[in-house]
Amino acid sequence: MKSARIVEVDKPLQVQELVTPKPKGQQVLIKVQSSGVCHSDIHLWEGGYEGPGGQLLKTTDRGVKYPLTPGHKIAGVIDSLGEQANGNSKNEKVLVFPWIGEGLCPACRMGKENLCDRPRSLGIYTDGGYSEYVLVPSYRYLVKIGEELDTDTTAPLSCSALTAYGAVKNTNLTPNDIVVIVGAGGLGLMAIQLAKAITGSRIIATDLDDEKLKEAKNNGADITINSKKEDPVKAVMELTGKMGADAMIDFVNSSKTVETDMKLLRRRARIVLVGLFGGELKLNLVTMPTRAYRLIGSYTGSIADLIELVSLAERGVIKPIISNRFKLDQATEALTMLKEGKIVGRGVINP
Ligand SMILES: [Zn+2]
Ligand SMILES: [Zn+2]
């Protein structure tokens, strides 16, 4: 099989001919039809990302090994199954849950493998979807996709949309709540669609870009605030009768945005931090208990969340947008375009 692989960091990906794996036990071999490109693939390609004080946090220090076939947003059809792979059949169209754990830690045992102590995520710690075939360790990580959906639009659900969904769930919103969503990029827009569809809460979206705020309105935001033009603290306090927001979801998560978030909170508010911009925060510790705030970090979602998400997509509640399609030997081009911000919506590789 052909796979586009990171052999050396920062060098073009190489299309290599590898032995096609044979599934054993619970394993399933998927013929990849769509593999989404993601910003975290760029970090794998560059060999790290910027940590506190501008220092490079190396991927190899987190257990990543090269050569690596990236790709964690994978959809395709079942090619072959191990002898213990139950409940699926050949040629079935599936989406792969990539946030795989080792299966034994407390998180795995609660069905939250995305929070495993020793993650084995596909396309990060093991070979992923920039390939004609991918070996999935168990049939339990496959989600069937209905006729309504094609693999290109479904593949990105397992990362960006799942992250947005996990974040919305972590807010525990109820219909009378007001939620502020910070950042109206891809993740923020998806969270707005989901919050609108499943919580019935009032949604305030903030961003620095009027174009993105217009999109936020189109996706279901009730009110938008351009925090470059008006003071978000003043605006949110006015909109909430000086009470503050019941929940915040911060898709930027920088020192500046979270400092502002902390001034917008109603008593009992949940602050869900998702973005990877980073920085640090000075907390007024007494207000944490006296106002019963909950500070929550949110990372992707569980397989149960992904099943719900696919069902929402089948019913047309959420609509992922695909803008660029690439072949396997264009993997370097795909990552370069993504890095330079030339992909609007989602890019996908069709091996
Ligand atoms: Zn991703
Ligand atoms: Zn685990």
- 133-136 and 202-207 as β-strands: parallel, antiparallel, unpaired? unpaired
Q: Which ligand is nearest to the CA of 124?
A: 1
Q: How many residues does the chain have?
A: 351
Ligand 2 centroid from CA 152, angstroms: 29
Ligand 2 centroid from CA 239, angstroms: 43
Question: Does residue 55 carry a pLDDT above 90?
Answer: no
pLDDT of res. 83: 96
Question: Does residue 322 carry a pLDDT above 80?
Answer: no
Neighbours of 242 (CB within 10 A): 9
pLDDT of res. 50: 72
- pLDDT tens for 146-180 read 888 999 999 999 998 999 999 999 999 999 999 99
Q: Which ligand is nearest to the CA of 36?
A: 1
* Helix axis angle, 160-170 to 186-198, nearest 10°: 50
Ligand 2 centroid from CA 117, angstroms: 5
Q: Confidence band (pLDDT; 50, 70, 90) for 279?
A: confident
Phi, psi of 248 (to 5 degrees): -125, 140
Ligand 1 centroid from CA 42, angstroms: 10
- Rounded to whole angstroms, the Cα distance separating 132 from 271 reads 41
In the chain, the amino acid numbered 245 is: A
Tokens of 211: 């174009």
Ordered alpha helix ranges (H), the chain: 39-46, 106-109, 151-154, 160-170, 186-198, 210-218, 232-239, 255-261, 287-290, 303-314, 331-339
207/276: higher pLDDT: 207
Please state the pTM of the whole predicted model: 0.92
Residues 6+ away with beta carbon under 8 Å from 203: 178, 179, 181, 192, 195, 196, 220, 221, 222, 223
Ligand 1 centroid from CA 73, angstroms: 7
Ligand 2 centroid from CA 141, angstroms: 14
**What's the mean pLDDT in 289-293?**
97
Q: Confidence band (pLDDT; 50, 70, 90) for 343?
A: confident
Ligand 2 centroid from CA 182, angstroms: 31
Q: Which ligand is nearest to the CA of 112?
A: 2
Ligand 1 centroid from CA 72, angstroms: 6
- pLDDT tens for 68-78 read 999 999 999 99
Q: Which ligand is nearest to the CA of 186?
A: 1
Tokens of 351: 């091996």
pLDDT of res. 345: 73
Q: Which ligand is nearest to the CA of 70?
A: 1
- pLDDT tens for 78-123 read 999 999 998 889 999 999 999 999 999 999 999 999 999 999 999 9
Q: Which ligand is nearest to the CA of 108?
A: 2
Report the chain's mean pLDDT, rounded to a whole number: 94
Ligand 2 centroid from CA 102, angstroms: 5
Give the up-direction half-sphere exposure of residue 126: CA atoms within 13 A in the CB hemisphere.
14
Q: Cα dist. 34→40, 210, 216, 301, 318 in Å?
A: 17, 32, 27, 21, 19
- Rounded to whole angstroms, the Cα distance separating 134 from 326 reads 18
pLDDT of res. 320: 75
Ligand 2 centroid from CA 158, angstroms: 18
Which class for 80: exposed (0-12), middle (13-18), buried (19 or more C-beta within 10 A)? middle
